[in-house]
Chain A
Amino acid sequence: MDVLSLPFIQHAILAGILASVACGIIGSLVVVNRSVFLAGGIAHAAYGGVGLAFFLSLPPLPCIIGFSLFMALIMAAFTVERRHRMDTFIGVLWAVGMATGIILIDLSPGYNVDLMSFLFGSILTVPVSDIKVMAAVDILIIGAMCGFYKEFLAMSYDMEFARVRGLPVRLFHFLFMALVALAVVMTIRVVGLILVMALFTIAPYLTERFSASLAGMMVTSTIANIVFVFTGLWISYRYNLTSGATIILVAALFFMIFIILSRFASCPRKP
Chain B
Amino acid sequence: MAPGGDQQTTVLPEGQSRAGEVPDVEIENCSFAFNSVPVLRDVNIRIYHGDFVAIIGPNGGGKTTLVKLMLGLLKPQKGRVRLLGSDPAKSCRRVGYMPQYSTGEKGFPITVMDVALLGRLGLTGIGCRFTREDREAALGALRLVGMEKYMNKRIGDLSGGQIQRTLLARALISNPEVLFLDEPMASIDIDGQSMLFDLLGELNKKMTILFVTHDVGLLSRYIKSIICVNETVYFHHEPKISPDMASLMMGTGEKCPVEMVAHGIPHRVLGRHERD
- A residues with a Cβ closer than 8 A to B are 32, 84, 147-151, 153-154, 156-158, 160-168, 208-209, 211-214, 216-217, 271
Contact = CB atoms under 8 A, between A and B. Distances in A.
Contacts of A168: 126
Contact of B99 (A149, A161, A165, A167): A161
Interface string B66-106: 00100111000000000000000000110101010000010
A150 B121 contact: yes
Those 4 A-B pairs whose CB atoms lie nearest each other, nearest first: A211-B109, A165-B121, A165-B122, A166-B122
A166 B99 contact: no
A167 B126 contact: yes
A160 B99 contact: yes
B129 A167 contact: no
A147 B114 contact: no
A150 B114 CA distance: 9
Contacts of B129: 149-150
Interface string B140-165: 00000000000010101100000000
B118 A148 contact: no
A143 B110 CA distance: 21
Contact of A217 (B97, B109, B156): B109
Interface in B171-226: 174
A45 to B, nearest CB: 27
Contact of A148 (B92, B126, B152, B157): B126
Given A166-B121, A212-B152, 20 more contacts: A32-B108, A84-B35, A148-B126, A150-B121, A150-B124, A151-B121, A153-B110, A154-B118, A158-B99, A158-B105, A158-B118, A160-B97, A161-B99, A167-B122, A167-B126, A212-B154, A213-B111, A213-B114, A214-B110, A217-B109
Nearest to A215: B109
Nearest to B127: A147
A78 to B, nearest CB: 16
A165 B127 contact: no
A209 B174 CA distance: 30
A164 B90 CA distance: 10
B256 interface: no
Nearest to A172: B126
Contacts of A149: 129
23 contacts: A32-B108, A32-B109, A84-B35, A148-B126, A148-B127, A150-B118, A151-B127, A153-B110, A153-B114, A157-B110, A158-B105, A161-B170, A163-B73, A163-B92, A164-B92, A165-B93, A165-B121, A165-B174, A166-B121, A166-B122, A212-B152, A213-B109, A213-B111
Interface string B21-62: 000000000000001000000000000000000000000000
Contacts of A84: 35
Nearest to B94: A166
Contact of B108 (A157, A160, A162, A216): A157
Given A84-B35, A167-B121, A157 B97 contact: no
Contacts of B114: 153, 213
Contacts of B95: 164
A150 B116 CA distance: 12
- Which of the four size classes fits the interface of chain B? 20 to 34
Interface string B260-273: 00000000000000
A217 B93 CA distance: 30
A157 B127 CA distance: 17
A271 B156 CA distance: 10
Contact of A150 (B108, B130, B154, B157): B130
A52 B152 CA distance: 50
A212 B73 CA distance: 29
A151 B126 contact: yes
Contacts of B115: 157
A212 B170 CA distance: 18
A160 B73 contact: yes
B119 interface: yes
A164 B68 CA distance: 10
Contacts of A212: 109-111, 152, 154
A147 to B, nearest CB: 5
Contacts of A163: 73, 92
Contact of B92 (A166, A217, A271): A166
A158 B105 CA distance: 9
Contacts of A166: 92-93, 121-122
B20 interface: no
Chain A CB within 10 A, most for which of B72, B124, B126, B156: B126
A165 B119 contact: yes
Nearest to B128: A150
A97 B99 CA distance: 38
A266 B19 CA distance: 63
A157 B117 CA distance: 12
Contacts of A148: 126-127
A214 B126 CA distance: 18
